[in-house]
Structure 1
C-alpha cells in the first residue's frame, strides 16, 4: 500500500495549500503547524480499537491541536466480517472531532457502500488510477465512478500522486477539488505552483452544491488565545485567510479576518496595545451557516453585512460545532460559473 501523502494538499481552484502531512519527530511528538494536517492511517489500525489510536490523541493534546484540525485518510482492506466494527470505530473517531477520509478508492478492498455510509469529508482516488488515467479509458471510468460517489455523499475528491500536467488536467476534468504529488511539491522558495487549467479541464455542470461540499478545514485557536498567537499563525502560512476562535466544545465564538486583524496589529502601537491581549478583542462575530445550507443561500447570508462581504463563512454541524470554513471566492465561483442552473431556484430568506 503506497502512501497518498507525498506533499501538501493543494486546492486546485485557488492554488493555495490547505493542509500538510502530519509529521512526528523521533520522540513521537507531533510537529505542529498552523495549517490543518492530514494523516495516512491503515484501516487495520482503526479496527484495532481505542488503544491503538490513543497515541494519536495524546500527540494532538501535547501539540495543542484539536482533532477537528486533522484529516484521517484511511486506506487498506476491510474484510466483510469487519464492516460493523469499522462503522463503530469511525463513529467514535467522528465523535472525537476528526475529519474522516478514504484513500485508494477504486482499487482498495473497501466497499463503496461502506465509504458512502461513513459520509467522509474526503475521498481519495487510487494512485494507480491516476497513473493510468491519461492513457487508459478503463481507469478513467473507474475514477469517474469514485468522483460520482464522492459528490453523492457531499465529500471532496482528492487526486493523489500527481506527476505531470496530463494527470492534473484529467483530475480537474473529473471534478477533483484537492490534489497532491510531485508536480505540486513546493519549489526552492517554498511556494507551490499549480499549472493553470483550461476550459477543457472543467468538470461537467452539476446542480449547485451545499456548503459542506465546499468545506475547507479551519484554523482554530482557543477563545482565550492571545493576539500574538494569531499573528504567528497568519505569519507562518500566507494561505490562511481567517482564524476561528472556539470554546472547549469547538463552538465558534469569534472570527479573525486576515486583512483586518493584521492591519490592526501593524498599525502604530498596534502590537503593544493588542499583542499580549486576548485575540477575541479584535475578533468579529463568526458568520455561521449550517453545513446543509445551499450555496445561493450562503451567498445571500454573506451579502447581508456589507462591511464583511468577503469574510470566510464558518460552517457548523447540528450542535453548532465548527466543521470548517467556506471562502466567499469559492461560493462566487460556484454560482457564477453555472448561472443556468440557478436561474429558477428560489431560496427562502
Structure 2
C-alpha cells in the first residue's frame, strides 16, 4: 500500500541576511509529487506533525550546519499542545532545538488562541524559536501576533507596494525584539523596497530558488549606500548575525576537528551547555594549529575540545556594532579575530558576528557621514536630519523640528568681512551642539541656516542657550531667529510635510525684531511668538508691541 511518504520530497530555500549577504538559515519546503498532502495536513494535525519530523530528517541527510525553518500550521500546535516527536527528531539528527525555528503558518481563524499560546510557551521553553509566517497575506490578528512575540516576522512580498505598512511592521518588530523578513522576493526592485522598509532578512527566487540540495551560493544585489541610513548609535548587531557552528560542551577535539575540516567556511565553533548557553569558544586557526603539531592529534583527539577553547565573548541581541567593538577591544590582541556570540535574554546563542562585517559597515557609515558634513562647521547636512525625521515619524515619536539663522547675515559679511562671518557660523554651530540634549540632532544646511531635531521637552533650554547669548561679528552685534514646528504622531507623513509646516514659521520669525522665536504645531493654524517684537508701523513713532500671544500665520 502506497504511503504519502513515497511521493514526498523536500526542497531547501535559503533565508538571506540583506546586510551581510550570508545565508541565515534554510526553510524546508514539502514538495509532493502527487496529491495534496499539505491540504490534508491543514485538516490533520497528526499528519502535519509527521511532515515537520520528516523535514528535519531530510535536512539531517544533507548534513547542513545552517539553522532550519520548519513549517507548522497554527492549528496543529493548538490541537496537539506541543510537538514531542519533533523535539525527539531534532535530537536524533544531532541538532539542538534553538537551531530550529518553527514557522507558524495560517490560517488562524477558529484556532483557540489560548491553546496556541500555551503550546508556543511549551516549545519555547524547550529552546525552539518561532516565526510568524504569511503576515499580510494571512489572517493573523495583530493582538495575537503581539502575544506570540515571535523572533522573526515574515511579510508577503505583495506588501512591498505599500511602504508605510512595511515600515510600521519594522517598528512593531523593534518593539517585540524581532527581525523582519520578506518572502517571495523576485526582483531587484523588490529587494531595494525591502531594504528601504527596514527588512533585515529576505527569501525568494531572486536569491536562490527552492532546490533539493541546499544552495551554497546566493545572489544578493549590490546595496546602494542611500538605501538604509544608519542611526547615529551605529547599526544593530541583529543586522550582522550569522549562523553559529554549535557543538555540545562535552564534544571531543576530534569532533570539532571533523566539523572544521568538513566546513571550510566555519571560522570557529561554540561549545554550548544543555540550555544553549555558550561556555567555550574554539577559534579555527588556533585550534587546527594545536592539532597539527607532531603529537597534536594523539594528545588532543579524544580529549574535551573545551580544553583548547577560550571563554566566549558575548553580546545581547540589542547591542549595537560599536558595543561589539568594545567587547572585542577587551582582552589580548590574539583574539581580535574571534567571532562574538550573540545571545538572547536567556543567554542562549542565536548566532555569531564577525569583526570584518562590523568594521566594513561602520567604515561605510563613517564615509557616508563625512561626505555629508558641512566643511565649515563639520556638522551633518540636511539629508542626515531629514532621514532621522522620517525614522521618528515611522516610529510614531513626537518631535520638534527647528530652523535657526543669523539675522541680516549678508550685511554681517559685507560689513565685517567673510572671515568674521565664518567664525560666527562656527560659533553658532558649536553653541547648538553644546545645547543639544541627548537624542537631539544638529545640522548645518548651508550659509547661516541650521536645523535642530529634538524632543519637545528639550526646546526651552536650547532656545535660551542660543538666543540669550551676546553674539557679534567684527564688533557688530548680531541676533538670531528661531522657528519651531511641533509634530505629534500622525500629524505629518514625512520630512517634506514637516518642512512645509516649518516654512511659514520661518517667515514669521524673520518678521520680528531682535532675537526671535516662533513656535507652531503641525496641522494647527496659527503660531506663538515666544520671543521678538513686531516692527512698529511708520505712523506709530517709536512704539513697539511685544508679542506673546497666538498670532495668525
Normalising by structure 1, we get a TM-score of 0.80
**Structural RMSD (CA):** 3.4
Post-superposition CA distance 1:179-213 (Å, at most 9, x none): 2222212899942232211124x224446466567
The answer as to whether partners of 1:6 and 1:180 remain within 8 angstroms in 2 is: no
The alignment status of 1:320 with 2:350, answered yes or no, reads no
Q: Post-superposition shift, 1:303? A: 1.0
1:303 equivalent in structure 2: 329
| More deviation, 146-155/290-299 | 290-299
For residues 170 and 72 of structure 2, what CA distance do their matches in structure 1 show? 21
The answer as to whether partners of 2:269 and 2:282 remain within 8 angstroms in 1 is: yes
Max Rg structure: 2
Could you say which structure has the higher strand fraction? 2
The answer as to whether partners of 2:127 and 2:275 remain within 8 angstroms in 1 is: no
For residues 175 and 207 of structure 1, what CA distance do their matches in structure 2 show? 16
The alignment status of 1:37 with 2:64, answered yes or no, reads no
Equivalent of 1:17 in 19, 23, 26:
23
The answer as to whether partners of 1:6 and 1:182 remain within 8 angstroms in 2 is: no
Post-superposition CA distance 1:109-165 (Å, at most 9, x none): 112333233332211111433xxx3xx4x3x33323222221232211212222221
**Distance 1:14-1:81 versus aligned 2 partners, 3 A rule:** closer
For residues 345 and 16 of structure 1, what CA distance do their matches in structure 2 show? 35
The answer as to whether partners of 1:30 and 1:59 remain within 8 angstroms in 2 is: no
Q: How does 1:185-224 map to 2 (within 5 A)?
A: 185=208, 190-200=216-226, 202-206=227-231, 208=233, 211=237, 215-224=241-250
Equivalent of 1:54 in 66, 84, 87:
84
Post-superposition CA distance 1:10-68 (Å, at most 9, x none): 222222222123477979835322222111222112212335x1221121021121111
The answer as to whether partners of 2:146 and 2:176 remain within 8 angstroms in 1 is: yes
Count of residue pairs the alignment pairs up: 332
Q: Post-superposition shift, 1:285? A: 1.0
Secondary structure (helix, strand or coil) at the match of 1:315 reads strand
Q: Which has the higher contact order (CA 8 A, sep 6+)?
A: 1
**Distance 1:212-1:121 versus aligned 2 partners, 3 A rule:** same
Q: Post-superposition shift, 1:221? A: 0.5
Equivalent of 1:67 in 78, 88, 97:
97
Q: How does 1:40-189 map to 2 (within 5 A)?
A: 40-50=71-81, 53-79=83-109, 82-129=112-159, 133=160, 136=161, 138=162, 140-185=163-208
Which consecutive unaligned segments of at least 5 residues does structure 2 have?
A: 1-10, 30-51, 370-383, 385-432, 440-553
| More deviation, 258-267/70-79 | 258-267
For residues 122 and 27 of structure 1, what CA distance do their matches in structure 2 show? 20
2:395 equivalent in structure 1: none
Secondary structure (helix, strand or coil) at the match of 1:310 reads coil
Secondary structure (helix, strand or coil) at the match of 1:196 reads coil
Q: Post-superposition shift, 1:286? A: 0.7
For residues 50 and 105 of structure 1, what CA distance do their matches in structure 2 show? 23
**Distance 1:267-1:11 versus aligned 2 partners, 3 A rule:** farther
For residues 293 and 20 of structure 2, what CA distance do their matches in structure 1 show? 29
Q: Post-superposition shift, 1:177? A: 1.7
Off by >6 Å, runs of 4+ in structure 1: 23-28, 186-189, 343-346
Q: How does 1:217-232 map to 2 (within 5 A)?
A: 217-232=243-258
